[in-house]
Homo-oligomer: A and B are copies of this chain.
Amino acid sequence: MQAINIGLLGLGTVGGGVAQVLRDNAAEISRRLGREVKLSAVCDLNAQRAAELAPQAAFVPSPLELVQRDDVDIVVELFGGTGIAKDVVLKAIENGKHIVTANKKLLAEYGNEIFALAEQKNVMVQFEAAVAGGIPIIKALREGLAANQIKSIAGIINGTSNFILTEMREKGSAFADVLAEAQRLGYAEADPTFDIKGHDAGHKITIMSALAFGTPVNFGACYLEGISKLDSRDIKYAEELGYRVKLLGITRKTEKGIELRVHPTLIPESRLLANVNGVMNAVRVNADMVGETLYYGAGAGALPTASAVVADLIDISRLITADTENRVPHLAFQPSQVVEQTFVPMDEISSSYYLRVQVADKAGVLGAIASLLAKENVSIEALIQKAVLDNNQAEIVILTHNTIEKNVKAAIKAIEAQDTVSSPVTLIRMETLNG
């Protein structure tokens, strides 16, 4: 059978990995696919690097030229971002090229436009590498669980944040110190904003939410709260209560609409997700027929991400001659069935909460706080008073039962207005991962 010709945009970490996988596992890939997957053209700012990593491929300095070449069947976009990457992807689709991309930002923010053009031009856009690196979670959501109604997804999908949280827990270190260490080890970027503020996880959970519920991608609906304000004390207190703190991307179908959010979350330590440590990723899916399934693996890195890119290349190669009827839809559901749905504002979500606050250590203070919570219909599951601090100050840690976020926010406002309360209230959401 004829070889499939690949045009590769970007030979950085992941691009180099793709070149390596296609070279080192060429025989294995041909044994599976029945034909060769050939790197025929590459584009990179660095011609020297391109010559080293992909000596057999044509070097094409212009990305817009690469995506029009006759010897390119599938374009692999690894530039990242939404500038040139967007223009080039749209141009490639215009030219009838199939697309494989690891660009979560591009898809979360411009996916609807890209998929619409792809339908029109009859090409496939695959993006396994955009979510959770080498873990085949997109395939699981689109194909493996296709018999189910998905109920919820909760994922550890940012390795940098998970590494920092793991170190904070194991060593009791402060956020800033661990971040510096992560940067030294190469687990965090020089500008780590994108990871630690939750944007990266937000892009990924936005994509998974669309696949799960058959909606257009809607990054604007995603609530983002990263780990940069976490105090290692809260991680320690959570642990004493039997919980671990993880940055989760969460999406869930409720009667009010779809919840879509990223924030630090307490989860019971017995859950598998609580035991996913370091830079590893894991995604838990709850679906009506299969129940709970979980997918674990490396969420980043050259070769794991390349593993996902090349799996997509193999998938497309199998279907390149097939009519659209035989393809798995981009967003899991047939384009006509991708429908807008309500997203639930953060104030209306239902959760239980971990609260911590510093108060004057005297009679009646605890009772007053409990009353203020009760007044907003927030009931207390557990309350512990931590060691008394200087100046007759004590620290109170509260776990609430399930309630509506706006009620907790109202109670917090009232608590913070008390004379006897001497710090803002720290709030961390909790998920039991039962449902």
Contact = CB atoms under 8 A, between A and B. Distances in A.
Interface of A: 1, 17, 21, 24-25, 28-29, 31-34, 128, 133-136, 139-140, 143-149, 214, 270, 272, 275-276, 287-298, 301, 303-304, 306-311, 313-315, 318-319, 321-323, 325-329, 332-334, 337
Contacts of A315: 143
Query: How many copies altogether?
Result: 2
Contacts of A318: 325-328
Contact of A146 (B276, B297, B304, B314): B314
Contacts of A327: 318
From A147, A310, A325, residue with most partner B Cβ within 10 Å: A147
Contact of A290 (B31, B290, B304, B321): B304
B298 A290 contact: yes
B289 A31 contact: no
Given A292-B297, A297-B294, A25 B333 contact: no
From A136, A293, A303, A333, residue with most partner B Cβ within 10 Å: A293
B307 A298 contact: no
A419 to B, nearest CB: 47
Contacts of A326: 318-319, 321-322, 326
Given A140-B140, A290-B298, A25 B149 contact: yes
26 contacts: A21-B147, A21-B289, A25-B147, A25-B148, A29-B147, A32-B146, A32-B332, A32-B333, A32-B334, A34-B325, A34-B329, A133-B290, A134-B291, A134-B293, A139-B144, A147-B311, A148-B307, A272-B275, A289-B307, A290-B307, A290-B308, A293-B298, A294-B295, A295-B295, A318-B325, A319-B322
A147 B146 CA distance: 23
A293 B295 contact: yes
Contacts of A136: 139-140, 143-145, 293
A32 B328 CA distance: 8
A-B interface, 5 closest residue pairs, ranked by CB to CB distance from nearest: A136-B144, A147-B310, A293-B297, A134-B290, A290-B307
A149 B337 CA distance: 37
Given A31-B337, A293-B297, A304-B290, A311 B25 contact: no
A21 B28 CA distance: 37
A75 B301 CA distance: 42
Given A32-B329, A146-B311, A25 B304 contact: no
Contact of A296 (B294, B321, B333): B294
Contacts of A143: 136, 139, 311, 314-315
B333 A288 contact: no
A28 B297 contact: no
A296 B311 contact: no
Contacts of A31: 214, 333-334, 337
A291 B17 CA distance: 13
Contacts of A1: 325
Contacts of A334: 31-34
